[in-house]
């Protein structure tokens, strides 16, 4: 296994994202996924591709390695659905393709490499040679979220007074709001009035 990848999911992410720019001519025709479906070579050194991964962890790292899309470059988004899937967008054409493993990919791999000592090794061996078209499913999609911000200005949320960058604000009834203030928060504020109660509840849980 390629040592750049921490686990099999890394490698699978690479398979998902790699364009036909690899050395093997025979394999080139099989690896026409994210890059080729969008008419782009990967990994990218520019910001013309944006990848959205639907799970965190090593799959996301693998997608970054394969595509050149990174959180730090603002070309990778994480929308945590807990699914091994990713969507790749050509920023210039706005063509987007979502890629995910075929439901029978594991079974197909195990059947293919029956001599392997265990399922994991079977998958690793089989994924090297089974055409990507048999392992992955693809669908062209339209991305609903605004991926590229054209204005780097700062706005102040009318609800919480915090700054919002990169045009990630929402306008409701004429008010500029952050996503959290529209009810889309991933957290709930613990007010001082019930802080003690929350603390007691946590202590009880620890004692149990």
Binding site for Zn ion (CB under 5 A): 157, 159-160, 178, 181
- Please, what is the minimum distance in Å from the beta carbon of residue 178 to Zn ion? 3
- Is the CB of 66 or the CB of 181 nearer to Zn ion? 181
Q: Under DSSP, is residue 175 helix (H, G, I), strand (E, B) or coil? A: strand
- Please, what is the minimum distance in Å from the beta carbon of residue 165 to Zn ion? 13
- Please, what is the minimum distance in Å from the beta carbon of residue 168 to Zn ion? 11
Alpha-carbon gap, residue 147 to 74, rounded angstroms: 9
- Is the CB of 47 or the CB of 168 nearer to Zn ion? 168
- Is the CB of 93 or the CB of 167 nearer to Zn ion? 167
- Is the CB of 152 or the CB of 189 nearer to Zn ion? 189
- Please, what is the minimum distance in Å from the beta carbon of residue 47 to Zn ion? 28
Using the CB atoms, write b or e for 68-85: b if 16+ within 10 Å: bbbeeeebbbeeeeeebb
Residue 121 in tokens: 């090794």
Task: Give one DSSP letter per residue of 52-119, joined into a string.
Answer: EESS-THHHHHHHHHH---GGGT-EEE---S-S-EEEEETTT--EEEEEE-TTHHHHHHHHTTTSSSH
- Is the CB of 76 or the CB of 157 nearer to Zn ion? 157
User: Nearest to residue 108, comparing CAs of 132, 93, 126?
Assistant: 126
- Please, what is the minimum distance in Å from the beta carbon of residue 179 to Zn ion? 8
Residue 174 in tokens: 């004429």
């Amino acid at each position: 296994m390629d040592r750049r990848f921490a686990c099999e999911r890394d490698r699978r992410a690479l398979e998902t994202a790699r364009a036909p720019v690899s050395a093997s001519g025979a394999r080139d025709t099989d690896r026409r996924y994210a890059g080729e479906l969008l008419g782009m070579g990967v990994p990218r050194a520019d910001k013309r591709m944006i990848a959205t991964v639907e799970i965190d962890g090593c799959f996301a790292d693998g997608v970054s390695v394969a595509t050149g899309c990174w959180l730090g470059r603002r070309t990778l988004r994480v929308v945590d659905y807990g699914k091994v899937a990713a969507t790749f967008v050509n920023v210039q054409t706005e063509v987007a393709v979502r890629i995910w493993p075929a439901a029978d990919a594991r079974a197909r791999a195990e059947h293919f490499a029956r001599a392997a000592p265990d399922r994991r090794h079977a998958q690793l061996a089989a994924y090297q040679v089974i055409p990507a078209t048999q392992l992955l499913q693809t669908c062209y999609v339209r991305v609903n979220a605004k991926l590229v911000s054209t204005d780097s200005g700062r706005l102040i949320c009318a609800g919480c007074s915090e700054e919002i960058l990169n045009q990630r604000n929402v306008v409701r009834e004429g008010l500029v709001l952050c996503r959290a203030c529209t009810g889309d928060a991933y957290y709930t504020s613990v007010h001082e009035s019930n802080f003690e109660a929350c603390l007691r509840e946590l202590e009880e849980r620890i004692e149990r």
